Amino acid sequence: MATFPWNRTLAGRAIRSRTARLERGVLGRTARGVRAARLVETGRRAQDRETARSRSSDAQIRTDGGSEQSGTDETVAIEFLDRETVRIVGDLEETMLSLFWWDESGRVGTITEPIGGVDGDRTVTVSEAFPEQTFAYGPVVTGVEGFTTPGPSVPGTGDVSASNPDLERHVEAVRDEYDEGGELEDPFPDAS
């Protein structure tokens, strides 16, 4: 029986190489098989990119930053009924509701979220639109944005928007109801 000297360096390299090939999934395959697998994967990635391109060409992405907003649309009417209820009349693909409230410690929380479309007439109450959210003080709706075409809805780029005209009065009413020690945080710290 012939004996060969043990070379620790070569053995370690062979084990590391085998482990690396196992991780790449190419152990036991020929070089031709590995190249074929890579070509299939490359083709799959190209097909995925093409699918994504064809899907996104239908969607309209609003990137005008709201500069092309009409402000109000004769076919859509937005009425703020009270501090947490809004009535919207018209046809909108998507509607976003913006609001704020105070938690138990007097800190402000905000939400600007899509709440669905409007087909004719819809009255939205904050507690119904966000049933999982608890509002210690408030909430106060600050504005509504409507989107007339399907596609991504980005705040500030709606086709129709309205701000709550009685916002300051609602803030004061909530402050008057606040019976804890201390003060409620200013909801608009940057406003002057």
Taking 80 as the threshold, does the pLDDT of residue 189 lie above it? Answer: no
User: Is residue 82 situated within a structural domain?
Assistant: yes
Taking 50 as the threshold, does the pLDDT of residue 23 lie above it? Answer: yes
* Chain mean pLDDT for the chain: 76
- Report the range out of 19-23, 62-66, 181-185 with the highest average pLDDT: 181-185
Whole domain around residue 48: which residue ranges?
8-56
Phi and psi, residue 13, nearest 5°: -65, -40
User: Is residue 187 situated within a structural domain?
Assistant: no
How does pLDDT run across 119-152, given as a tens digit for each residue? 999 999 999 999 999 898 889 999 999 999 988 8
Nearest Cα neighbor of 75 from 121, 38, 29 is 121
Cβ(84)–Cβ(53) below 8 Å: no
Mind spelling out the 3-state secondary structure of 93-147? EEEEEEEEEECCCCCEEEEEEEEEEEEEEEEEEHHHHCCCCCCCEEEEEEEEEEE
The answer on 86 and 172 residing in a single domain is yes
The answer on 84 and 130 residing in a single domain is yes
User: Is residue 45 situated within a structural domain?
Assistant: yes
How does pLDDT run across 157-176, given as a tens digit for each residue? 999 999 999 999 999 999 88
Instruction: Tell me what the mean pLDDT of segment 29-54 comes to.
Output: 59
CB atoms within 10 A of CB 66: 15
User: Is residue 65 situated within a structural domain?
Assistant: no
Cβ(114)–Cβ(144) below 8 Å: no
Taking 80 as the threshold, does the pLDDT of residue 115 lie above it? Answer: yes
Spatial neighbors of 163 by CB under 8 A, at least 6 apart, are 142, 143
Q: How many domains does the chain have?
A: 2
How does pLDDT run across 76-113, given as a tens digit for each residue? 999 999 999 999 999 999 999 999 999 888 899 999 99
